[in-house]
Amino acid sequence: MNNDKEKFIENSIIKHNILETHRGSHIMIDYYKLQIYDANKFANFVFSLMKDIISIYSSMTIVHSHLHIFNPLLTNPGFTSVLLLDESHFSAHCYSDDGLLAIDLFTCGITDTKTLITLFHNKLLENYPDAEFKILHTLERF
C-alpha cells in the first residue's frame, strides 16, 4: 500500500508545490475497475470520505453538501455528490455498474490539494484495492 501511495504521487502532475506560485488548484481524477457490489453503500462511503477529508484535514468550510443516488429504474446505477466549499468545490460522479468514479477537487486558496487528494486516494484504495486510476488533469489556478 505504501508503494501505491508513492507511485500515486510520483506519477502525478501534482507532486510539485502548487502553493509556491498560485493561489489554488483544480485536480480531476478518474478511477475505473472498481468492484462495487452495493451501489448505495459505495455512494455513502465516498460522500462520507469527502466530508471527512475536508472537515478533518483542511481549514475549508463546507457551505453545502448533497448526495444524489440515481434511481436504477430510470438511469444507470450510481450517484453524484458535491461539497460546496468556501474555497470552491469537491465532487464525485459514479457509474456503479461500470466501476467508474470521477473525482474533482477545486480550491481557490492556500489549501494543499495534493495532501487532500492523496488522503482520499489512499482511503479509497484501502477499501477498494482493485481500483485503478488515471489523473486526468491538474490546473494551477489564479
CATH of the domain at 27: 3.60.90.10
Kindly indicate the confidence band of residue 7, based on its pLDDT and cuts at 50, 70 and 90: low
Our count of domains for the chain comes to 1
pLDDT at 3: 57
pLDDT at 64: 98
pLDDT at 20: 54
Average pLDDT on 52-57 reads 96
pTM of the model: 0.83
Where in the sequence is the domain holding 83, given as residue range(s)? 2-14+23-107+115-133
CA-based nearest residue to 68, from 49, 46, 35: 46
Classify residue 85: in a domain, yes or no. Answer: yes
Give 66-106 pLDDT, tens digit per residue: 999 999 889 889 999 999 999 999 999 999 999 999 999 99
Classify residue 139: in a domain, yes or no. Answer: no
Classify residue 37: in a domain, yes or no. Answer: yes
| Alpha helices (runs of H) in 26-71, residue ranges in sequence order | 39-57
Classify residue 79: in a domain, yes or no. Answer: yes
Classify residue 98: in a domain, yes or no. Answer: yes
Rounded to an integer, what distance in angstroms lies between the CA atom of residue 95 and that of residue 6? 28
**Degrees to nearest 5, angle at CA 134 with 31 and 113:** 90
Classify residue 42: in a domain, yes or no. Answer: yes
Rounded to an integer, what distance in angstroms lies between the CA atom of residue 18 and that of residue 110? 9
pLDDT at 2: 52
